[in-house]
A and B are shown apart, each in its own frame.
Chain A
């Protein structure tokens, strides 16, 4: 069940009403949320619910076993089993074919034919997200940052439908305490929820779909047929497309949860306004960035040790983060570009600070331009189907001068408008949201209906599948 569909709208209306009616009764309310989440997930494929159920039972078992023991070796052993089990399942579904393909290809280079063919394993929707959440729960328990919850609370936390499919990656200590509090049904933060849902729908259904069909899909499919102007605009358009698509989806997720009285962490914070790659990662898919920091970068050693060791930790974190996004070498390159950029950026910043250099007047503009273009360069590898495809695109970007018919005023307007939106001050948005919240209900309804009209009228005939599902 996808968010921008009538099926989900009907499903959510029922969940909204029943959830608030049951809210005074903790046990039925939790059971209802769990059942609703399984119905939502089962709508993709009923078999997936078995995997989710198994993940819930196994990880609750791991967390309980860790919490019940004071023996450090035993705790560590259980943690190791938990990590291996979670990553093993994720690895099987996500990387087994990539491994077979890459190994067979490498062996073929030295004249050995192992006769391996990919198994054609289908990646279950959402597995990456719930595996990361389950791991954070078990590791936090091991670190004594959190106590194991009841099985029911943990199940609701892991399966809760708004975040299940594409995040944000919510930590147990963020959501489980909220299950134990009783949200006041008289005080729903509906203005923020409505804003997030409408903005999310607009970004996902209108902006992302428009840019994909107007320029991005064509140029990335056959770069040989396009000139540098089209290629440059297509790269910028893809940067906007993936932002609109992904942030749009998580905005809807956060808004839906908020309507049910539950708060998720922020996942995007105007990432294309960032003045450094480091800042970009604090604003882009924030819950994944913080997850990688807490459960990968810090265990690797973080900022400790020599400069070389610190750089290596950073690079490995981004490399693995890249591979998490997809089982292909292009994603490894994407992660590597970000890793290298972060290292260079840190070294340059430290060197300039040591030399006592003061940022000039145009420094923010230059830093913004460099950051945005580095991020866009990395997106080329993220989007491209292969290295050949990416290199052809970059080659023609430089050596095929010309503009091309796909560069239209509307495409340019959408890119510029979306970039400009990143610089709108939060206070201005909050003021508009506050003004909306103070109008009478009928006016609020009319405004929302107007938003839905625009989204439906400007949207495509069908909503394409969400880019991030398979990640």
Chain B
């Protein structure tokens, strides 16, 4: 530290500058700390013994800190880069992160983050993650083919009368559209002990980006072992984005994209099939934005045709439920209750309540009352 620095630090011999420098250190008692007119609210910024630094040094400290943090957080940055939409921005982000992954891995400095996340019971993917994740959508093996599970004469969906002691095991999940839906369904079922429900809304998830959240693996490891009798899923709102197929990027308007999406929908429908289990697939409602609404319409057609080929899958048309009074997007009910959130996409309380009723009704009709799909 130079003498000048020492003087600045202690405030000795350095008077406030001609421009009313406010960040000078504690001045001698006989020198006013600041202009009399200065608002009291700014006294918070007294240096209180801290040493001010030149802007250039602050920049150097900040730059070095960001560089070190980038090495330490290489996995986190890689996750963030991989999570971008498929396209040039993600490619650029991944190229930018690669050197930090390489150096962080070589020096093993990035392992500190992994240790912290392990201790906090959080997963780490990061630099080693497969960015496409397409391999998750593998058709179920022959042991689970329809014929062997139910036989030719048994109904695709088993029926029974559940009781509070032996409730119907129901699972509901999907993307952020299911946040409100889950809550409303749980609310609706609080006085229906004969239906037990487990929910898992996963924000930003879907079927196009298993690299972000791998639904097939989640179903296999966390959902199917619990042997739910009815599974309710809702995907699509995040799915209208680029998809990487065998290293090539495709957009939702490409036939290759639609073919691959159809395949994935089919794989999930087959994977969820179980011994008499109902799979209730909730289609996408109308969206406020016309272009987005049109893209969701394309997905709905895929869901409908894939469901039709599978008797254990029933499609719930949420457009009818959430647009009860008009053909197209409907924000509120006739009574002014909000069906959808202000983003024109997500469900609001009244909308979620309507859809929850429709879900419970569909599950009850099919599983408990044994009605044929409508």
A: which residues have CB within 8 A of B? 6, 9, 13, 16-17, 20, 100-101, 104-105, 108, 116-118, 120, 122, 171, 173-174, 177-178, 181-192, 221-222, 224-225, 258-259, 261, 263, 265-266, 286-287, 290, 385-386, 430-431, 433-434, 436-438, 441-442, 444-446, 448-450, 452-454, 456-458, 461-462
A432 to B291 Cα, complex, angstroms: 55
User: Cα distance A186–B2 when bound, in Å?
Assistant: 14
Q: Which of B66, B68, B80, B349 contacts A385 (CB 8 A)?
A: B349
How long is the Cα–Cα vector from A211 to B183 in the complex, in angstroms? 18
> Which residue of the partner chain, among B52, B72, B79, B120, contacts A190 with CB atoms under 8 Å?
B52
Are B49 and A430 in contact, with the CB atoms below 8 A? yes
Given contacts A434-B51, A449-B72, whether A6 and B80 have CB atoms under 8 Å apart is: yes
**A437-B19 in contact given A221-B183, A445-B61, A457-B76 (Cβ < 8 Å):** no
A-B contact count (CB 8 A): 197
Rounded to whole Å, the gap between the CB of B229 and the closest CB of chain A is 21
Asked if B102 is at the interface of the complex by the 8 Å CB criterion, the answer is no
**B24 interface hit (Cβ, 8 Å):** yes
Is A449 within 8 A of B68, CB to CB?
A: yes
Interface pairs (12), CB distance under 8 Å: A6-B80, A117-B332, A188-B54, A189-B23, A225-B187, A261-B23, A441-B61, A441-B64, A446-B65, A449-B68, A453-B72, A462-B203
Is the beta-carbon distance between A118 and B331 smaller than 8 angstroms? yes
**Known pairs A101-B336, A430-B50, A441-B61; A456 contacts B183 (CB<8 A):** no
How far is it, in angstroms, between the C-alpha of A359 and the C-alpha of B91 when the chains are bound? 67
A452 near B50: Cβ-Cβ < 8 Å: no
Chain B, residues 32-75, CB within 8 Å of chain A (1/0): the string is: 00000111011011011111111111111111111111001100
Interface presence of B251 (CB below 8 A): no
Shortest Cβ distance from residue B19 to the other chain A in the assembled complex, whole angstroms = 4
B interface list, Cβ under 8 A from A: 1, 8-9, 17, 19-24, 37-39, 41-42, 44-45, 47-69, 72-73, 76-77, 79-80, 112-113, 116-117, 120, 122, 183, 186-187, 190, 203-204, 331-332, 335-336, 338, 342, 349
Cβ-defined partner of B42 (8 Å) among A116, A174, A187, A456: A174
B residues in contact with A461, CB < 8 Å: 79
Is the beta-carbon distance between A265 and B39 smaller than 8 angstroms? yes
Q: Are A181 and B20 in contact (CB under 8 A)?
A: yes
Q: Are B42 and A457 in contact (CB under 8 A)?
A: no
A187 near B65 with CB under 8 A, answer: no
Given contacts A122-B342, A187-B24, contact A457 B65 (CB under 8 A): no
Set B23, B59, B69: member contacting A17, Cβ < 8 A? B59
- Contacting pair B68 A189 (CB below 8 A): no
For A433, what are the chain B residues with a Cβ–Cβ distance below 8 Å?
A: 48-50
User: CB < 8 Å: which of A116, A171, A225, A462 contacts B39?
Assistant: A171
Tell whether, in the assembled complex, residue B21 and residue A183 are in contact, meaning their CB atoms are under 8 Å apart: yes
The reply to whether B55 and A20 contact each other, CB–CB distance below 8 Å, is yes
B38, B47, B58, B342 — most chain A CB neighbours (10 Å)? B58
Q: Which residues of B contact A258 (CB under 8 A)?
A: 45
Say yes or no: A442-B64 contact (C-beta < 8 A), given A184-B21, A184-B23.
yes
Chain B residues, Cβ within 8 Å of A446: 65, 68
B120 touches A174 (CB 8 A): no
Cβ–Cβ contact B116 & A457, under 8 A: yes
Asked if B55 contacts A225 (CB within 8 A), the reply is no
A6-B80, A184-B17 given; A434·B50 CB < 8 A? yes
How far does the alpha carbon of A396 sit from the alpha carbon of B51 in the complex, in Å?
Answer: 53
Q: A181-B20, A266-B44, A444-B61 in contact; A437/B51 too (CB < 8 A)?
A: yes
Asked whether B50 lies within 8 Å of A191 as measured between CB atoms, the reply is yes
A222–chain B nearest beta-carbon distance, Å: 5
User: How far, in whole Å, are A16 and B58 apart by their CA atoms in the complex?
Assistant: 10
Contacts of A454 on B, CB cut-off 8 Å?
116
Residues of B within 8 A of A224 (CB): 187, 190
| Residues of B close to A120: CB separation below 8 A | 331, 342
Chain A residues with CB below 8 A from B55, complex form: 16, 20, 185-186, 188, 261
CB neighbours (8 Å) of A187 from chain B are: 8, 21, 23-24, 52-54
Would B19 and A181 count as touching, CB distance under 8 A? yes
**Bound Cα distance from A181 to B42, whole angstroms:** 15
Chain A's closest residue to B184 (CB) is A222
Q: Give the residues in chain A near B332, CB-CB below 8 Å.
A: 117-118
**Chain B proximity of A400: nearest CB distance (Å):** 12
Report how far A185 CA is from B53 CA in the complex, Å: 8
Given the known inter-chain contacts A182-B19, A189-B50, A265-B41, please indicate yes or no for A457 contacting B68, CB distance below 8 A.
Answer: no
Residues of A within 8 A of B203 (CB): 462
Whether A448 contacts B59 by the Cβ 8 Å rule is: no
Q: A188-B52, A192-B45, A452-B73 are in contact. Are A445 and B65 (CB under 8 A)?
A: yes
Report A-chain residues with C-beta under 8 Å of the C-beta of B22. 178, 181, 183, 263
Structural contact, B54 and A448, CB atoms closer than 8 A: no
Question: How distant is B245 from chain A, measured CB to nearest CB, in Å?
Answer: 25
**Known: A442-B64, A445-B65, A445-B68. Contact between A192 and B17, CB under 8 A?**
no
